[in-house]
Chains A and B, each alone.
Chain A
Amino acid sequence: MNASWLVVATLAWRNLWRNYRRTLIILATITLGVWSMIFMSALMRGMVDEIVRNGLETLPGEVQVHAPAYRRDPSVVNSMAMPDGDFLQALGESPVVAWAARVRVPAVISSERDSRGVVLLGVDPSAESALGSAPDNLVEGRFLLGVDDKGVVIGASLAKRLETSLGKRIVLMSQNPDNDVADRGARIVGIYKARLPGTEDIYVYAGRAATQKMLAMGEQISEVAVTADDYRAVQSWYPNILEAAGDELEVLPWTALDTFLSSMLAVQDGFALVFMVVVFLALSFGLVNTLVMAVFERVREIGLMLALGMKPALIIGQVLVESLYLLGLGLAAGNIIAYVSIRALENGIDISSVAQGMEMMSMSPVLYPALRFSDMLMSTAVVIVLGLAASLLPAWKASRLDPVKALTKT
């Protein structure tokens, strides 16, 4: 480092601790501000992640492949063949981490007490588990053992509505390709609770082969759901699936399947930045006040340095370096505390007592803060850039002092 900048750095550091109480107060303010930026961003991200992930896990996956007419008419008529050839090969390539072929048709489930409209899912349980779409909270019984498992797994809420329970028989009814009624009796082998209680009423899981047999659809399936390791990166890899699946199938990323979720994700990034800027603007008053006071108290010294031949640019540099020290220390402490506090809460924050009805927003009553390096980076950039910008005025004023007048200041 140039010798003159070294003395600037030394002076800035020592000046910082001349009024250590004031320095500690502004440091605490910056730390709190940075922590709140990162923590609130993590909460918001956690919330949106939760909504998106829950949305994707129930059940679209990150990319969905089906017959072109299936979305308009999700009946057994609009089915597709099991993946093979290039399509099957593409499903085995990175970044795809899991895929599942399933039958998914509207159906009616009846107990001896009641009937309900549901979505019947004929699944491969191991593939659904890998995809993250299998129910992860079985409160009674078991999940399906294989594609030819003849039992069914229903949600706890549905069981309550049907006034049925584990081990009892129900009847599933839908349509076969000839538009005739297809039905079969099955025993309830498992009851699940979902993060989103609403889904418990809708989805009924059955073995895929057993469902295909009931619906007389041979080896045909309704859809293939595919997932990778980061739902945000879907645009980078879904074209591979699109190309491999061919023209006769419709391949859609989740952003097209659920535009509400994708727009929510886009809004969140902008909102995080706005939130950070607003928090910084609040704490910038404290920062500027500290620097203005620091300059005001050292008018004589600054006059002396100017008189001795220190260039105004170095005076500006001294105030900015002092500001940078404050910001750097506050950022370091804020980032560390944010990291520790978010990690400590990674098992979730139960907000059920203050947020009833959150399932209506596809949210579970437990909030999982999601710490992202990009948020820490963004808060650091916001604080450094705006902090230095806010420090420019006191720095410039210091550099414009008249040495003669400054030296006579008492």
Chain B
Amino acid sequence: MSAIICKELCKTFHQGEQVITGLDHVSIEIKKGSFTCLSGPSGSGKTTLLNAMGGLDTPDSGEIWVGDTRLDTLARGALADMRLHNIGFVFQAYNLIPVLSARENVEFVMQVQGVAKGERRRRSDEVLAEVGLQGMEDRLPSQLSGGQQQRVAVARAIASKPKLVLADEPTANLDSKSAAELMALFESLNEQHGITFVIATHDVRVMGYARRLISMRDGLIISDEAQQSHSMVV
């Protein structure tokens, strides 16, 4: 069963008169419940591919399917709806809403989904405990460390029980210990809940967790290998 199918994706960016190739006829299939890393240097196209998979960016040509839904033809509102109900996002810079507490940040997506208050509270407490933030529910992001903030972001991404979590350089702003803890958390969520993870990273230590490693350069997939997951060296 496929979680994501990309067919012949092309995407170019214009910087003045220069045309930069983001994706160059990229085709890829991500299986449900898989744990995949997109690797490559800056400008290789991994974030562009991740954004296309998440419906944040539309390709110039090609098709993207998430489950049974074709994303590249959806209107803005329908894309927002699809992201809301199917995809969890974890970004490099934590990206929490500063005026909301940890719990409220976690509940945010569920609240926009219209989940009832009691259910929201139960699930947010559950996932915050799962990511190790029990007792910190009422803290504002400014009262949490970088690692803790990223854990809140992860809790937010999984609280609404998405089928797919897309993470863009999730460990880039974390120290080694926090990064290892976060990756262990991802691995555990993948194994226990069967959530499909696609992580864009150029951190070789993160790549070690992937069971499938896709390397990109200049908008092209240059290698696509299955591998044995192993713990990150701290």
Q: Which of A2, A14, A308 has the most CB of B within 10 A?
A: A308
Mostly, the A contact residues are helix
Beyond A3-B116, A308-B89, A314-B112, is A11–B97 a contact (Cβ under 8 Å)? yes
Is A150 part of the binding interface, using a Cβ–Cβ cutoff of 8 Å? Answer: no
Instruction: Contact check, B84 vs A2: say whether CB atoms are below 8 A apart.
Output: no
Residues of B within 8 A of A7 (CB): 108, 111-112
Return A319 CB to nearest CB of chain B, in Å. 15
> In the bound complex, what is the Cα–Cα distance between A307 and B83 (angstroms)?
7
Return A68 CB to nearest CB of chain B, in Å. 73
Q: Could you say which of B54, B76, B104, B114 contacts A2, with CB atoms under 8 Å apart?
A: B114
Beyond A304-B97, A404-B51, A407-B91, is A309–B81 a contact (Cβ under 8 Å)? yes
Residues facing A in B104-151 (CB within 8 A) are: 104, 108-109, 111-117, 120
Instruction: Contact check, B95 vs A300: say whether CB atoms are below 8 A apart.
Output: yes
**Interface 1/0s, chain A 307-320, versus B by CB < 8 A?**
11111111000000
Interface size on B, residues (CB 8 A): 32
Instruction: Contact check, A305 vs B97: say whether CB atoms are below 8 A apart.
Output: yes
**Interface 1/0s, chain B 72-107, versus A by CB < 8 A?**
000011001111110101010001011110001000
> In the bound complex, what is the Cα–Cα distance between A307 and B57 (angstroms)?
10
Is B20 part of the binding interface, using a Cβ–Cβ cutoff of 8 Å? Answer: no
Q: Which of A14, A15, A307, A309 has the most CB of B within 10 A?
A: A309
Residues facing B in A285-332 (CB within 8 A) are: 300-301, 304-314
Residues of A within 8 A of B100 (CB): 10-11, 14
Q: Could you say which of A14, A15, A310 contacts B80, with CB atoms under 8 Å apart?
A: A310
Residues of A within 8 A of B116 (CB): 3
> In the bound complex, what is the Cα–Cα distance between A18 and B97 (angstroms)?
12
Instruction: Contact check, A308 vs B109: say whether CB atoms are below 8 A apart.
Output: yes
Interface size on A, residues (CB 8 A): 26
**Interface 1/0s, chain A 56-89, versus B by CB < 8 A?**
0000000000000000000000000000000000
Instruction: Contact check, B89 vs A310: say whether CB atoms are below 8 A apart.
Output: no
Is A403 part of the binding interface, using a Cβ–Cβ cutoff of 8 Å? Answer: yes
Residues facing B in A372-410 (CB within 8 A) are: 403-404, 407
Give the interface of B toward A (CB within 8 A): 51, 54, 56-57, 76-77, 80-85, 87, 89, 91, 95, 97-100, 104, 108-109, 111-117, 120, 156
User: Could you list some 17 contacts between A and B, CB below 8 A?
Assistant: A3-B112, A3-B113, A3-B120, A6-B111, A7-B108, A7-B112, A11-B99, A14-B99, A304-B97, A306-B80, A307-B89, A308-B109, A309-B112, A311-B81, A314-B112, A404-B51, A407-B95
Given contacts A304-B95, A309-B82, A404-B51, 8 further A-B contacts (CB under 8 A): A3-B116, A3-B120, A4-B112, A11-B99, A18-B98, A307-B91, A309-B85, A311-B77
Q: Enumerate the 9 nearest inter-chain pairs by beta-carbon distance, A residue then B residue, closest first.
A: A309-B84, A14-B99, A309-B83, A7-B111, A4-B112, A304-B95, A3-B111, A3-B114, A311-B80
